[in-house]
Structure 1
């Protein structure tokens, strides 16, 4: 199965950054120029750029353009974070709405984060997560397909972690990076907030107890509806 066009563009732009064509802090060409270079619509190009923004490789500056992101100070958190368990622990009812659900070839970033072998496929799903029917976050989660191929869609979308644990897979640790960003027009529409409103972006790679990565997730939380708690 071939990759979607926006994933191929994502890979090409990321490779250009890694090859030094654009250095940290450099402004990349405008969307219209890049769309012409790749021979795609601006909507497709914008989708590719947004995946790189969500991964922290690019950052948008309103009114100035899109730039290769600078490294930020990181705070290490421990433990695997399950939205379902966190929400239930606070006495709220978790739910989700699936926006997309597709088995496909991984992007370069997904292959790297999940330690995938050549030819392996992934399940990529986009969901809006709710607490008591209030939208809390928009999530893009990528999972090695071989881990979940025997589960049905509801088992995976309702609570992936719980499903894995029920089938003998023990959760290990997670690497998490949290940063503050402004909501894009698409994310704002999904979460019922204004474009440019503050959101917390979490990028997380979760592992099983045996050290195998099982999920790479990019989540954007409404800034005034969710907070992270760190315990040392």
Structure 2
């Protein structure tokens, strides 16, 4: 076996055997020691190989029991499009309704919170400027779909009925609708997707394992003057959802 990154060679070999059905879904794999002897490597190499396959979603570790072939999960598509920002409804609820699912969420807002430096930079404000931060857990048919942490400058909403996103006359209606009600026209949204690994808190909330792949989306809304009016960090479990972007195309 080549000496460069031997755990990758072991992972590749195990992956082929798993996908060929040598071990059935739910079946326990041989121990690290057994696999190490079979492949002529150290136990730490087989451990790293199995850890890689756990991250990929092929295996799952059970404390005190061993490592098992993981049951494949249904991976659904989440479409992010300008259509989802149409006024008059919650974008998330509309997305889930299009899939025949009931979209709900739990949220907690905290006013007069100084923005962290990276959030202040995204909102073009000073770190000491007060914001409303709202943390969301979005559910589809009662099952976790995504997390979001949203920041809005109180200089924009502070003296209005929509200062708290989930309270008041437009509770739960989305940023575009709420901003429109106070005379702020949201014109564009910029999203920056990045792959990441789930933290323990994210894993607990999304019902996944520590270190599982997630997609993080840094989203910022801008008004017609190019002023940032809201920014959020969205987290989606990669094993359950793939994210697709829909763009309008202007004709010739």
TM-score (norm. length: structure 2): 0.54
Match of 1:164 among 171, 179, 184: 179
Aligned to 1:219: 234
- Rounded Cα–Cα distance in structure 2 between residues aligned with 1:101 and 1:225: 30
Stretches of structure 2 lacking an aligned partner (at least 5 in a row): 1-50, 52-79, 86-90, 248-252
> CA separation in 2, counterparts of 1:157 and 1:193?
29
Go from structure 1 to structure 2 and tell me whether the alpha carbon gap of 1:186 and 1:117 turns closer, same or farther (over 3 Å shift): closer
Match of 1:154 in 2: 167
Q: Distance in 2 between matches of 1:183 and 1:231?
A: 26
3-state secondary structure, aligned to 1:158: coil
**Residues 78, 175 of structure 1: 8 Å contact kept:** no
1:141 match: secondary structure: strand
C-alpha distance 87-170 of structure 1, shift in aligned 2 (>3 A):
farther
Q: Which has the larger radius of gyration?
A: 2
Alignment of 1:168-187 (within 5 A): 168-187=183-202
CA-atom RMSD in angstroms: 2.7
Count, aligned residues: 157
Please state if 1:143 is matched with 2:152.
yes
Q: TM-score, normalised by structure 1?
A: 0.58
Alpha-carbon distance in structure 2 between the residues aligned to 1:144 and 1:187: 25
Deviates more, 1:102-111 or 1:213-222: 102-111
In the alignment, structure 1 segments of 5+ residues that lack a partner are 1-61, 63-76
C-alpha distance 118-130 of structure 1, shift in aligned 2 (>3 A): closer
Cα drift, residue 140 of structure 1: 1.0
Q: CA deviation at 1:93?
A: 2.4
- Name the counterpart of 1:103: 112
